[in-house]
Amino acid sequence: MCCGGESKYFAKFQNRNRVVRRFRCVRCGKTFSEPQPLDGLRIETQKINEVVRLLCEGVGIRAVSRLTGLEKKTVLSIVETVGEKCARFHDAAVRNVKTVNVETDELYSYVFCRQVQNRTKDPERGEQYTFLSFCRDSKLVISFFTGKRSWENTHEHIHDLKTRLAGRVQISTDNWKGYRGRQGAIQEAFGVDGVNWDADKGLC
């Protein structure tokens, strides 16, 4: 980055994907390129699209590496970069969602090892849950959170869900104790008037 002064068009060059413009700062004379859609990735866009498509179809990292001819580290770099971009877009775009029915559940997985083998109790290893809240009618994912299936993470997810909704809703959940009860995440976030709630049936 330069000193932040006024910049003017300086030159352009062709990379693997597109023509990239360069600019020069009038004040300090430094040159810089315009931002790229996927910063840090020097791979053809077509190859990145192929990696993302395979991952969305449930193909594993090692299999994607074999099918595309890319190193495993490169595939992981694509996952990290594209994932961060998608998360930022979702955070900015999915706001004030108008819906009546929301379903909330968790997807189970594990990182590096099973929880029973996580002897150091590392919170980033072992079993992990992805909390998902989505509109029952449109299937839009309104809020998500990945971490341990804990009381604190449940509350964080439900509070994030509340900030993205507009108006009163009915929330359907499983019977996970973090959701239900007068001390549960839904009651704490929405209050008695913000949500329809039936803890006995797993409906909130």
Which 8-state DSSP code applies to residue 35? P
Interhelix angle 45-56/72-93, nearest 10 degrees: 80
Q: How far is CA 126 from CA 15, 83, 115, in A?
A: 41, 21, 4
* Domain identity same for 74 and 112: no
pTM (2 d.p.): 0.74
Do residues 171 and 184 lie in contact, with contact meaning Cβ atoms separated by under 8 Å?
no
51 and 13 fall within a common domain: no
| Total of domains in the chain | 3
Is the same domain home to 115 and 170? yes
SS3 content of the chain, % helix, strand, coil (to 5): 35, 25, 40
Domain that holds residue 22: 1-36
Q: Are residues 87 and 152 in the same domain?
A: no
Tokens of 148: 């341990």
36 phi and psi, to 5 degrees? -105, 150
Residues 106, 193 within the same domain: yes
Query: Quick one: which of 60, 146, 145 has its CA closest to 109?
Result: 146
- CATH number of the domain that residue 193 is part of: 3.30.420
Q: Indicate if 196 and 120 belong to the same structural domain.
A: yes
For residues 63 and 105, state if they share a domain.
no
Maximum CA pair distance of the chain?
A: 68
Pick from 122, 121, 125, 124: nearest CA to 112 = 125
Q: Are residues 116 and 184 in the same domain?
A: yes
160 with 193: CB under 8 angstroms? no
- pLDDT tens, position by position, for the chain (204 residues)? 566 677 877 777 776 666 777 877 887 878 777 666 666 677 788 888 899 999 999 999 999 999 999 999 999 989 998 999 899 999 999 999 999 999 999 999 999 898 889 888 898 899 999 999 999 999 999 999 999 999 999 999 999 999 999 988 889 998 888 987 767 898 889 876 555 555 444 444
* 114 and 174 both lie in a single domain: yes
